[in-house]
Amino acid sequence: MASENKAVDKSITINQDIGLLGSDSRFEGTIRFEGTLRIDGTVVGNIESSLDGNSMLVINKDAVILGDVTADSILISGKVEGVVHAPERVELYKAGLLKGDIYTGDLMVEAGASFEGYCHMNESPPSAVKKPATQNVRTTEAEVKVKKAEAR
């Protein structure tokens, strides 16, 4: 009996005031939330809120995010590789590592934090930033293959 490949919805929506992705958890896809979301585990994909003035994303010290993140306020103590969009505030703490651009109204960087990218104050990110991280990776891999073929 042949097994069928079934499409799986790789997004979740969290509607409670506080959500948690635990330290031994790994999620691939897009997370959409309202209120406060705390990440202790790994997310490969984007994390988005509705930007209603009440959303907060807390990325704890052992968390790893490989994708773009959007919330009114974002507190980073873990590792983020992607674009950070927080119209109200971004806080990057001592244990934090951010590789990517920041779009925010207010930025706090604690001594010892690591930041590689550009900071855009009071600007909105370009719409191209809103692509899921997996699409960005595939595009990059395709571009590398094309460049290798052209070099031959």
Domain chopping of the chain, boundaries = 11-151
Residue-wise pLDDT for 70-125, tens only, equals 999 999 999 999 999 999 999 999 999 999 999 999 999 999 999 999 999 988 88
Backbone angles phi, psi at 146, to 5 degrees: -65, -45
Q: Considering Cα of 118, then 121, then 126, then 132, what sign does the dihedral take?
A: positive
What b/e readout covers 30-62, taking b as 16+ CB neighbours within 10 angstroms? bbbbbbbbbbbbbbbbbbbbeeeeebbbbbbee
Encoded tokens for 142 = 């395709």
pLDDT at residue 94 in the model: 96
pTM beyond 0.85: the answer is no
* Arithmetic mean of pLDDT, 128-134: 43
Task: State percent of the chain over pLDDT 90.
Answer: 59
pLDDT at residue 12 in the model: 52
CA angle 95, 72, 94 (to 5 degrees): 10
Q: Considering Cα of 51, then 78, then 137, then 83, what sign does the dihedral take?
A: positive
pLDDT higher for 54 or 140? 54
